[in-house]
Structure formats: C-alpha cells, structure tokens
Amino acid sequence: MNLKPIKPFEPILSETIPEDDDWISQIKWDGVRVLTYYDGEKTTLYNRKLNERTNIFPELLKIEDYADCQSVILDGEVIALDHNGKPSFHEVMKRDAVKRPEKVKELMEAVPISYMIFDIIFHNGEWIHQYPLQERMELLNSIIHPNEYVQLVPTYTDGKSLFEIVKQYDLEGIVCKDMNSNYHINGKNGNWKKIKNYKDLIAIICGVTYRSGIVNAMLLGLYNDDHQLTYIGDVGTGKLTKDEWKYFTEIINPLKSDTMPFVNLGKNINHVQWLRPILTVKIQYMEWTAGLSLRQPSIQAFVDYDPQDCKLNQ
C-alpha cells in the first residue's frame, strides 16, 4: 500500500463562535500541522505543505505504541511548551527547522514535543474522509491510546466559555467544527472555523537594518493581487535570542541585493540592506493600520514557507 501525502482540511477565519448544538470547539494549538501515514509497514510524517518530517519527530514513528490499526492517516498538531508551560511556536520551530540529522536526538531531550491528534482520514485500508466528523471522532477515540508523546485533543460544546479560557491563558485561539461535516481534502470551508485570540501571518523578509554589525530589524513584505511586493512594516522585537540574531546576520549574506523590492516605497531609503525575497517569518501583530502596515508586530519564529504564498489576502 502506498499512502501519498495529502493537503489537509483548513478552517476559515471567523469572528463569531457558532452556538448550534451540532458544533464542537477545540483549542487551536500554536504548533506545526503534521499528518501521520501508516501503510501497514512503515510510518511517515508530512506537514501541511507536503514537506516530509519523518526524521524530525522520531517520537511518533512507533505507531503501535499509540494506535490500534492495520493502516491509518491521522491529522494533528505537533507542539512544544515554553518555560511557562504554554504552547510556543518559537519552541516547536527549533525542532521543525532542524537540518542536520545528528541534531535531532539532542533536541529530543532539549525540546520535547507532543502530538495533539484531532482527526482521522484513512483507516484499515478505507478512506473515511466522507464520514461525518462525529463518526470519525468516535473511531479516533476507540483506536488512540495516549502516551508520553501523543494526546487526543479535548472537545468542548461551549465554544464561548472555551474562548474565554483561551484568552485568560493567552493561547492562540479555538477551532469550531460542525459534527456533521466531512473532511475536505485540499480545501477549506465554513464547516471548520478558527477564532483567533491574536492575529498572525507569514511575511517575507525583504530587507534589514544593522546595529554594531548585527541585524536589529527586518523590513517585511507581502505580495498584492498583481504579485508586487508590498511593504507592510518593520520589526525588531519578538522571541529571537541574541544568538539567533547573530546567526541570521550570517546566513543572509548570499541574499543581499542592491534592488529595493517594494512597489509602495520611494527609491531613496538609507541604511537598509535589501535582500532577495526568499526567507519567511511568522509575525504576531495587533492590527492593520489604514496605510496597510502592521501595528505592534512581533517576531515569533523563522518558517519554511513558500514566499509566493505570502499574500496580502492570506
């Protein structure tokens, strides 16, 4: 059996929490979306962009330790906690961004992860994505046995109360799901809604400024509808450590450019080193200003993301 990776079902952004009896709510974990594929012989892991993560999270490869099945595709979120015990995108990216296999074992101890499973798409040779969520969840609860690394995402019927708890603990948000809905592979619709406690996006690093030879701020951009790079602000605060700023300063050397890439900035801008629009970063922010720039942006982590998908209407 050859289980090819699929693009997972995505929720749409919403400002309202459904109150119908057919809806449930779950915490939206600030982690990395990972689907687990077990074909009866081997287990592989892929993220939402279809990039393989099998060797990055070896804790999840012994499927028999947590799932009773002959074959399966599971959907969930890999998370890591910060020193306050909260899910941290910055922490989990220390694992997800590993390039050298020899570093994985070291980071398994330094940055432990949990796999928060919330759906099942394929089971014992049968595609079940057309089953109602209610049935998929019942099956999921019957075959998954939580352990040190694997948990089932708790489900709640009172979305408004859950969102108040999320705000109290400053978590990312909630996802509300229609229990009658199927799993829309490679798509999104209103059957899953995400309600965020704070706003974030993936932006392109298009330029930098320096202080004492070290980068101290990034100029961010997104593509508009005409595929032109639009300046959305600069950011110099967030979760990057001094060592990460130093490392970033070194790795951007091959990306330096003399060309200002933005369509909405003047030509004469001093003290900026422009970069080829390749690197991407996750940014948390308060809101958009009237001039289409970010208010109070904060760096969360570097991410492996296609710059072509970084758009103003993302």
- Which residues form the catalytic set? 28
Long-range contacts of 228-231 (CB under 8 A, 24+ apart): 228/263, 229/204, 229/261, 229/262, 229/263, 229/277, 230/262, 230/263, 230/264, 230/292, 230/312, 231/206, 231/262, 231/264, 231/265, 231/293
Contacts of 202 (CB under 8 A, 6+ apart): 280, 281, 282, 283, 303, 305, 309, 310, 314
Chain-centroid distance of CA 228 in Å reads 25
The four Cα atoms 170, 307, 238, 194 give a dihedral, to 10 degrees, of: -10
DSSP codes of every residue in 263-285: SSS-S---S-EEE-TT-EEEEEE
Q: Which region holds residue 290: left if phi is over 0, alpha if psi is between -120 and 50, else beta?
A: alpha
Report how far residue 188's alpha carbon sits from residue 130's, in angstroms, rounded to the nearest whole number. Answer: 14
Report how far residue 129's alpha carbon sits from residue 139's, in angstroms, rounded to the nearest whole number. Answer: 12
Phi, psi torsion values for 267, nearest 5 degrees: -75, -35
Residue appearing with tokens 């592979």: 185
